[in-house]
Amino acid sequence: MISYKGADADYSLKGKTAIITGGAAGIGFATAEFFAKKGVNLVIADLDSGAGAAAKKLGAKNIGAQGNVCDGAFRRRLIDAAVENFGGADILVNSAGIVALEKAEALSEDDWNRTIAVNLTASFMMAQAFGSYLIKNGRPGSIVNMASQAGVIALDRHAAYCASKGGIIAMTKVLALEWGPHGIRVNAVSPTVVLTELGHKAWDGPVGEAFKKEIPAGRFAEPDEIAGIIGFLCSDAAAMITGHNLLVDGAYTIK
């Protein structure tokens, strides 16, 4: 059960420890930056070799771990690192993800399987390992899974990605249902295009300008505003929010 501690106007996170997958770049790193400003201890995981440098950039005490979230031993190592260095873990942000752009009739089985493995299966297995740790130790906690507007609407050439993100949203609801009595909140965040480095490469230009015209807000999202929303969901200010998929899409999906 999640007890009410009173309204938290400061969205306090100080002293908590977060594990962030895909944390060396993009939304993951923006979230790590936000958390660092809030006094959160960080375990940053990434397939990229820059995980260690990203962690240290945000504070000497932080831990960076290079590895593949599809590897069970690596997932367990992340939790062990949080426990050994910070005495425990409170927050998991599942931000690691990939996309394979291809027409459905031409999408290879390998690209389908890899997208599902990284985006959906690894996110579930990481959440399972983290949730099991919390339950075993009687700790409350918060999990935020990165979904997408592609999880609630169809996007051209995104068959595998849409399937994986739709699965994330459904998984989030089940975990919230099962783990709520243990004080574990589980939510998803579903952005539109986010202007990370990869977002700029993919959407700067005429195609992106045309897409923005379809968004009532008239723009794409910035990484730091997604990070702030994740921070809110992990704070006690959101203590009654669980099992929710928060769309951050400038009203694109209401049409």
Closest CA to 91 of 29, 171, 31: 31
Q: What is the overall mean pLDDT for the chain?
A: 96
- Residue 9 in this model has a pLDDT that exceeds 90: no
Residues 190, 162 contacting (CB under 8 angstroms): no
Count how many domains the chain has.
1
The CATH number covering residue 244 comes to 3.40.50.720
What whole-number distance in Å separates Cα of residue 233 and Cα of residue 11? 9
Mind telling me the catalytic residues? 161
Please give the pLDDT value at position 8.
77
What tens digit of pLDDT does each residue of 155-191 get? 999 999 999 999 999 999 999 999 999 999 999 999 9
Residue 63 inside a domain? The answer is yes
* Sheet containing 91-94, strands listed edge to edge, beginning at the edge strand earlier in sequence: 63-66, 41-46, 17-21, 91-94, 141-146, 184-191, 245-248
Please give the pLDDT value at position 5.
76
Written as six digits, the tokens of 82 are: 């949080």
Residue 99 inside a domain? The answer is yes
What tens digit of pLDDT does each residue of 184-238 get? 999 999 999 999 998 898 899 999 999 999 999 999 999 999 999 999 999 999 9
What whole-number distance in Å separates Cα of residue 117 and Cα of residue 4? 37
Q: Residue 237: which domain range?
A: 17-193+222-249
Residue 81 inside a domain? The answer is yes
- Residue 150 in this model has a pLDDT that exceeds 90: yes
Residue 5 inside a domain? The answer is no
